[in-house]
Amino acid sequence: MSLTVVGSIAFDAVKTPFGERDRMLGGAAVHFSLAASFFTEVRPVGPVGDDFGAEQFEVLERRGILTEDIERVAGGQSFFWRGRYEYDLNVAHTEDTQLGVFAEFEPKLSELSQAADTLFLANIQPDLQRQVRAQCSASFSGLDSMNLWIETAKDSLLAAVAEVDCLVVNDAEIRQLTGEANLARAARAVMALGPRAVVAKQGEYGAALFTEGGFFALPGFPLEDVRDPTGAGDSFAGGFFGYLDGHDGDLDETHLRRAMGYGTVLASFNVEEFGTERVSRLSREEIDERFETLRAMTQFDGLAAPAE
Amino acid sequence: MSLTVVGSIAFDAVKTPFGERDRMLGGAAVHFSLAASFFTEVRPVGPVGDDFGAEQFEVLERRGILTEDIERVAGGQSFFWRGRYEYDLNVAHTEDTQLGVFAEFEPKLSELSQAADTLFLANIQPDLQRQVRAQCSASFSGLDSMNLWIETAKDSLLAAVAEVDCLVVNDAEIRQLTGEANLARAARAVMALGPRAVVAKQGEYGAALFTEGGFFALPGFPLEDVRDPTGAGDSFAGGFFGYLDGHDGDLDETHLRRAMGYGTVLASFNVEEFGTERVSRLSREEIDERFETLRAMTQFDGLAAPAE
C-alpha cells in the first residue's frame, strides 16, 4: 500500500505562551507525512526552495518518507508562515505568510505517486487539488481546506470535494461551506456532493466522523502540557489516512473508527512539543500504547476489557 | 433512594431561530427534576409566586416529582428569565432577569428533603448552596454554578465547591474558577479543593468527566433538529445524578460513565423542543433506546456487540 500527499512543505515561526521557534520545519504535507509514516509508505508532493536542505530532508527520510516528489526550485524560497497563539492555544493568529515557490506550483506527480492507493489533498488552492486528483488513480482519497478558499474559490472547492471520498476539515468550515448551522445537517449536505465520509475536526474537543447512517466521535486526548498546536490537524489526517492505507481490506465503519483513534493519538503527540519535534522521534510502541489508553478512556463500560 | 435539588423554579421567555415562547415553565430545578424523575424519587426545593399554579405543578406531579418543598410565597412573583439565541444556538443572550421571590429566598428543607441520599445544588448564590448543603445528610452531592458567582462571590463559591463530591459546570467556568487555561489541569485543581469528580459541560461538543486517575468524554448526541437549548445543562445534570441516585452500589468509574450517558441522552431530548415540552412527555423506553444508540456511536470497535 502507498499514500501520496500534496500540500505545503514549509518553514514556520511560532510563538506560544510556552516558547517560540524562529524557523522550524513545518507545513501540512510534512506534519501529515510524519504521522502517516508509522503506518505506510508515504510520498509528499510539493515545492521547496534552496533554503530547504539536507537537515530538513533528513527529518523526513529518517522516518522512511519517500522524498523524490519534493521539487527543489532553484533560486526559490520555501513557503514560510509566522503565527502566534494566545494563552488558551485555541486560535492561531497569522502574522506573516510568504508563498515563495508555492506561488508558481504546478503539481506533476511521478509515476509512483500517481499509482498510490490513497491520496490526501492537504489545504492548498482547490484547483491545484483537482489537478492532483486527476493525475492519481488512488481508490481512496481525502481533502482538507480552509475558510480562505470557501470565501474566494467556493465553486472550485465544491468541485474538488465532489471528487474525493472523505472530507477532513474544521467543523466551522463544514458549516461555512454548506451554509448549515447544524453540524449533522451540514455533514449530510457534504455527503450529498460525493464524499462517503466527513470528519469534523473540533480542536481540543476532538473530532467527529459522519458516514451514511453512522456517527462516531472522539474527544481530544487529555494532555496537561500542550506547547504548540501547529500541525495538529495535519497530524490527525496523517494518522487517519496512514492507518487506512496501511490496513488491508474494506474501509468499513470499524476501520474508520480505528483510524479516528490513530488520528487523535498522532495529533496529541504533535502538540506536546514544537513543530515536528515530538512526532519525529516517536515510536510505534508509544502510539499503540496511547491508542489503548484512548480506547479505555472512551469505553462506555469503564471496567470492561477491550473488545478484541 | 431519593434526590433533593435546590435551584430556580421559573418562567422563561425564549426566542430561537426556530420559534418562541412568551412564558413557559422553566428553571434549573425544574429541568433537573424532570430529567431525574425517570430514575429516582426527586424533591425540588425553591420558592415560587402566586403566578405558579396548578398547571405548572401538574407538569411536575405527572412525572412523580414530590413538590412539597416548593414554597409558595403569597403576593410574590416567580423567577423570570427572558433570553434569545442566534442562528448557531451556542450562546444565550439574556434580555431580562427578574428574581421575584428568589430575592428573599432562605432555604428550609423538610425532613424528607434533608434525609435525601443525593443532593444537587443547581446554580444559585453559593452561600445559599452552602446553607442547603449544611441541612442535608446526603452521601453524594453535586454543584453547578456560573461566571456571575465566580466574578462576584468567588470565596463563597470555592467554599461551596469544597463541600461537594462532584462539580458540574461549563468548561469555560472550570478554567475561570481555577485560572488554569488547560482543562485537565483545571479539573485537577478543582479536585484538590475536595470534589472527587469534575464534569465539564461542553455544549454541542458533549461533556468530559475527570476523576482521580480517570478521564471519560462523550460527544453531544447528534441531532438534526435542535429548537431550544435552554435547560440542556440542567437536564444533563438531572440524568447524571438521577441515574447515580437510582443505582444501588458504589459510584465507581463504570457508574459515573453510564451516568454521563444518561445525562447526554436527557440533554439531547431537552433541546429537541421548547422548555420542558419534550422531556415532560418522554418515556423510559425512549431514553434507554437512545442510550443504546449513543453507546453504539461511541464504541471504538464499531461492529462489536454491546459489552453487557
Q: Which residues of B touch A188 (CB under 8 A)?
A: 224
Query: Are B297 and A216 an interchain contact pair (Cβ–Cβ within 8 Å)?
Result: yes
Given B204, B215, B226, which is nearest A297 (Cβ)?
B215
Closest-CA residue of A relative to B200 is A205
- Which residues are B147's β-sheet partners? none
State how far the Cα of B127 lies from the Cα of B41, in Å rounded to an integer.
Answer: 26
Output the 3-class SS for chain A: CEEEEECCCEEEEEEECCEEEEEEEECHHHHHHHHHCCCCEEEEEEEECCCCCHHHHHHHHHCCCCCCCEEECCCCCCEEEEEEECCCCCCEEEEEEECHHHHHCCCCCCHHHHCCCEEEECCCCHHHHHHHHHHCCCCEEEECCCHHHHHHCHHHHHHHHHCCCEEEEEHHHHHHHHCCCCHHHHHHHHHHHCCCEEEEECHHHCEEEEECCEEEEECCCCCCCCCCCCCHHHHHHHHHHHHHHHCCCCCCHHHHHHHHHHHHHHHHHHCCCCCCCCHHHCCHHHHHHHHHHHHHHHCCCCCCCCCC
Q: Which residues of A touch B308 (CB under 8 A)?
A: 301
Q: For residue B147, give the 3-state DSSP assignment.
A: helix
Query: Are B299 and A302 an interchain contact pair (Cβ–Cβ within 8 Å)?
Result: no
Amino acid type, B92:
A
| pLDDT tens, position by position, B219-270 | 999 999 999 999 999 999 999 999 999 887 678 899 999 999 999 999 999 9
**Residue, of B253 and B9, whose pLDDT is higher:** B9
Closest-CA residue of A relative to B260 is A300
What single-letter DSSP state applies at residue B135? H
DSSP string of B160-220? Answer: HHHT-SEEEEEHHHHHHHHT-SSHHHHHHHHHHHS-SEEEEE-GGG-EEEEETTEEEEEPP
Between positions 261 and 280 of B, the ones with CB within 8 A of A are: 261
Q: Which residues of A touch B302 (CB under 8 A)?
A: 214, 216, 252-254, 256-257
Q: Tell me the average pLDDT of chain A.
A: 94
> What is the model's pLDDT at position B249?
67
Query: Are A302 and B257 an interchain contact pair (Cβ–Cβ within 8 Å)?
Result: yes
Given B219, B226, B253, which is nearest A303 (Cβ)?
B253
CB A239 within 8 A of CB A264: yes
What single-letter DSSP state applies at residue B247? S
> What is the model's pLDDT at position B213?
83
Closest-CA residue of B relative to A201 is B205
Query: Distance from B231 to chain A by nearest Cα, in Å?
Result: 19
Between positions 211 and 250 of A, the ones with CB within 8 A of B are: 214-217, 219, 222-226
Is the pLDDT score of B308 beyond 60? no
Amino acid type, A280:
S
> What is the model's pLDDT at position A249?
67
User: Which long-range CB contacts under 8 A does A88-97 form with residues at least 24 apart?
Assistant: A88/B175, A88/B181, A89/A16, A89/A17, A89/A204, A89/A226, A89/A229, A89/B181, A90/A203, A90/A204, A90/A229, A92/A229, A92/A230, A96/A13
Given A89, A206, A295, which is nearest B300 (Cβ)?
A295
Given A185, A215, A301, which is nearest B254 (Cβ)?
A301
Query: Are A253 and B302 an interchain contact pair (Cβ–Cβ within 8 Å)?
Result: yes
Closest-CA residue of A relative to B180 is A88
User: Residue A185's CB: how many other CB atoms inside 10 A?
Assistant: 18
State how far the Cα of A146 lies from the Cα of A233, in Å rounded to an integer.
Answer: 12
Interface test mutation site (partner A, options B254, B260, B301, B303, max chain A beta carbons within 10 A): B301
pLDDT band at B66 (very low <50, low <70, confident <90, very high): very high
Query: Distance from A263 to chain B by nearest Cα, in Å?
Result: 13
Q: Tell me the average pLDDT of chain B.
A: 94
Environment class of B308 (CB within 10 Å of its CB; exposed 0-12, middle 13-18, buried 19+): exposed
Query: Are B182 and A225 an interchain contact pair (Cβ–Cβ within 8 Å)?
Result: yes
Q: Does A298 touch chain B (CB under 8 A)?
A: yes
Closest CA to B279 of B245, B246, B238: B238
Sheet with A214-218, edge to edge strand ranges:
A70-72, A41-48, A2-6, A118-121, A140-143, A166-170, A197-201, A207-211, A214-218
| pLDDT tens, position by position, B139-160 | 999 999 999 999 999 999 999 9
Nearby residues of B95 by Cβ (< 8 Å), 6 or more positions away: B82, B83, B84
Q: Which residues of B touch A252 (CB under 8 A)?
A: 302-303
Q: Which residues of B touch A216 (CB under 8 A)?
A: 297-298, 302
Closest CA to A35 of A169, A212, A221, A235: A235
Closest-CA residue of A relative to B304 is A307
**Mean pLDDT of all residues in B268-284:** 97
Kindly give the interhelix angle for A126-135 and A154-162, rounded to the nearest 10 degrees: 30
User: What are the cell numbers at B180?
Assistant: 488554569
User: What are the cell numbers at A196?
Assistant: 462517503
Kindly report which listed range (B88-97, B282-291, B294-303) carries the lowest average pLDDT score: B294-303
Task: Give the residues of chain A that fall short of pLDDT 50.
Answer: 303-308
> What is the model's pLDDT at position B303?
46
| pLDDT tens, position by position, B26-39 | 999 999 999 999 99
Q: Which residues of A touch B175 (CB under 8 A)?
A: 88
**Mean pLDDT of all residues in B109-129:** 97
State how far the Cα of B120 lies from the Cα of B44, in Å rounded to an integer.
Answer: 9
| pLDDT tens, position by position, B85-116 | 988 788 889 999 999 999 999 999 999 999 99
Closest CA to A216 of A198, A234, A189, A230: A198
Q: Which residues of A touch B205 (CB under 8 A)?
A: 202, 205-206
State how far the Cα of B36 lies from the Cα of B42, in Å rounded to an integer.
Answer: 7
Query: Distance from B225 to chain A by nearest Cα, in Å?
Result: 8
Query: Are A182 and B257 an interchain contact pair (Cβ–Cβ within 8 Å)?
Result: no
**Mean pLDDT of all residues in B47-63:** 97
The distance from CA A13 to its chain's CA centroid, rounded to whole angstroms, is 19
Query: Are A222 and B216 an interchain contact pair (Cβ–Cβ within 8 Å)?
Result: no
> What is the model's pLDDT at position B24?
97
CB A37 within 8 A of CB A2: no
Q: Which residues of B touch A301 (CB under 8 A)?
A: 254, 257-258, 307-308
Query: Are B303 and A183 an interchain contact pair (Cβ–Cβ within 8 Å)?
Result: no
